[in-house]
Chains A and B, each alone.
Chain A
Amino acid sequence: MAGIAVSTTINGDEVEYLCNADETLLDVLRDRLELTGTKEGCGTGDCGACSVMVDGRLVCSCLVLGAEAQDKSIETIEGMADGADLHPLQQKFIEHAALQCGVCTPGFLIAARDLLERNPDPTEEEIRFGLAGNLCRCTGYDKIVRAVQDAAQEMKGK
């Protein structure tokens, strides 16, 4: 099978790849482009570990076909830090120890950034509802919520 030729933009870079018709964007990112920061948890859109942005919308990359990325702009966790400078959310996740095994973390960071861009001053309830599509089996969520609250404060100050 020759595969489908796709031209897309990932973290600002133009990227071209070949993929099978039934291959997900998640598999393309991880297995073809070696962007393994995006994780697979459930593979059915329930856990949010594979969260990426597609044309400014938060989505589960396990429920997007690689072929659908044609002419889109994709943002993954690899594009979150500015060189060696971590994004405030990344920094706060470290400071608050908002992760243990780390599989859910890239998805949480992508989803939390989208949340704060839409709502720079969320209440705790808004954070918990806003991140309900991201599951974490280690932390019990409290540390994640606190890290997001702290990052929101810092980002507002800038």
Chain B
Amino acid sequence: MQYERPETLKDAVGLLAGSKGKAYVLAGGSDLLVRMRGEYIEPDLVVDIKSVKGLDKVTRTAKGFSVGASVPCAALGENKALKKAWPGVVEAANLIGSKQIQGRCTISGNLCNASPAADSVPALVAANAKAVIAGPKGKRRLAVEKVVTAPGKTALGKGELIESIELAKPASRSGDAYLRFIPRTEMDIAVASAGVNLTLDAKGVVKSARVALGAVAPTVVLVKDAAKVIIGTKLEDAALEKMATACAKACNPIDDKRGTIDFRKKVSGVLAQRAAKIAYARAGGKL
């Protein structure tokens, strides 16, 4: 195995694109090293992107925030401006693993690992985040929900890597939230999860909404029907019931000892309802 630590994005892309064998990007390594040590993968090349300038920072732009690909999730929790703007995204990112894992893991890595149960991904999808992808043909932007195509598979081509995740400046009277169900209280992988992002009008009526579910389908799913039934409402019980039904319909879960199909369908709706209420309160709405 060859280890490289390029200092520019161009060199990182060049190394990945020029590799004849199996090449992997190393950011936090909390998934990559586990897979290497478990001999699930045998890389010929590992490209450590932590020395690439700029990727280690959260930048505030005119349009919002840009989270560099090598920023550890612990640093997101320490970023007051980001936490204020996107509390749901930051909470989701801070749920990944232990404090030790938080010191290394990244949201770009969480996305590229392409697990259906990735905690930060439903929150990012709800937040309408975009992945900025660098590659041999230049840069492109892709909505986060389009990055993962199947468990363990992404839309990234040879030589491509995520350089940052962009989050827009939140609209006024908006809020987001993320909740997951795990059988224990800490350090576990979601059995079902939901991210919700809402914008209200001056009267507290939901003007726009995005609802995303995790761990209940091969990829995180953006549930447009769940958003549709709460738009124009103040999250009255009837609207929330319709949202839960829409969520259950969008589920295509596995059936295992951690959660049956019926359980996951039911719980995804409950989590979406609760997350919606938190997001609603964060947007300044009164239930």
A residues in contact (CB < 8 Å) with B: 4, 20-22, 24, 43-46, 48, 51, 54, 57-60, 62-65, 67-68, 70, 111, 114-115, 129-134
Nearest B residue (CB) for A51:
B100
Asked if A58 contacts B100 (CB within 8 A), the reply is yes
Name the residue in A20, A51, A58, A70 with the highest tally of chain B Cβ atoms < 10 Å from its Cβ: A58
CA distance in complex: A59, B105 (Å): 10
Asked if A57 contacts B103 (CB within 8 A), the reply is yes
B131 contacts the other chain (CB 8 A):
no
User: A57-B103, A65-B46, A68-B26 given. 5 additional CB < 8 A pairs?
Assistant: A45-B33, A58-B99, A63-B34, A63-B101, A111-B99
B residues in contact (CB < 8 Å) with A: 1-3, 5, 26, 29-30, 33-34, 36-38, 46, 48, 50, 72, 74, 97-101, 103-104, 186-187
Asked if B101 contacts A60 (CB within 8 A), the reply is yes
Query: Contact partner of B33 among A46, A62, A114, CB < 8 A?
Result: A62
Asked if B100 contacts A48 (CB within 8 A), the reply is yes
Shortest 5 CB-CB contacts between residues of A and residues of B: A133-B98, A57-B103, A21-B3, A132-B186, A63-B33
Query: Contact partner of A58 among B30, B103, B186, CB < 8 A?
Result: B103
Asked if B34 contacts A44 (CB within 8 A), the reply is yes
Asked if B50 contacts A60 (CB within 8 A), the reply is no
- CB-defined contacts of B29 to chain A, threshold 8 Å: 63-65, 68
Asked if A63 contacts B104 (CB within 8 A), the reply is yes
Nearest A residue (CB) for B29:
A63
Asked if A21 contacts B46 (CB within 8 A), the reply is yes
Please, could you name 20 A-B residue pairs with CB atoms under 8 Å apart, sorted by A?
Answer: A4-B3, A20-B1, A24-B33, A45-B34, A57-B103, A59-B103, A63-B29, A63-B33, A63-B104, A64-B104, A65-B29, A65-B33, A67-B3, A67-B48, A68-B26, A68-B50, A130-B99, A132-B99, A133-B97, A133-B98
Asked if B99 contacts A114 (CB within 8 A), the reply is yes
Name the residue in B30, B36, B97, B104 with the highest tally of chain A Cβ atoms < 10 Å from its Cβ: B104
- CB-defined contacts of B72 to chain A, threshold 8 Å: 57
Instruction: Please give the distance in Å from B39's CB to the nearest CB on chain A.
Output: 11
- CB-defined contacts of B187 to chain A, threshold 8 Å: 46, 132-133
Query: Contact partner of A63 among B2, B30, B74, B186, CB < 8 A?
Result: B30
- CB-defined contacts of B34 to chain A, threshold 8 Å: 44-45, 63
Nearest B residue (CB) for A107:
B100
Asked if A133 contacts B38 (CB within 8 A), the reply is no
Nearest A residue (CB) for B98:
A133
Instruction: Please give the distance in Å from A58's CB to the nearest CB on chain B.
Output: 5
Asked if B100 contacts A21 (CB within 8 A), the reply is no
Instruction: Please give the distance in Å from B91's CB to the nearest CB on chain A.
Output: 14
- CB-defined contacts of A68 to chain B, threshold 8 Å: 5, 26, 29, 48, 50
Contact of A57 with B98 at beta-carbon distance under 8 Å, contacts A45-B34, A63-B29 already known:
no
- CB-defined contacts of A21 to chain B, threshold 8 Å: 1-3, 46
Asked if A48 contacts B98 (CB within 8 A), the reply is yes
Asked if A45 contacts B30 (CB within 8 A), the reply is yes
CA distance in complex: A115, B98 (Å): 12
Asked if B37 contacts A43 (CB within 8 A), the reply is yes
Asked if A57 contacts B2 (CB within 8 A), the reply is no
Nearest A residue (CB) for B34:
A44
- CB-defined contacts of B74 to chain A, threshold 8 Å: 57
CA distance in complex: A57, B106 (Å): 14
Nearest B residue (CB) for A21:
B3
- CB-defined contacts of A57 to chain B, threshold 8 Å: 72, 74, 103-104
Query: Contact partner of B38 among A44, A64, A114, A131, CB < 8 A?
Result: A44
Nearest A residue (CB) for B43:
A22
- CB-defined contacts of B2 to chain A, threshold 8 Å: 21
CA distance in complex: A93, B200 (Å): 52
- CB-defined contacts of A45 to chain B, threshold 8 Å: 30, 33-34, 97-98, 100-101
CA distance in complex: A60, B102 (Å): 10
- CB-defined contacts of B46 to chain A, threshold 8 Å: 21, 65
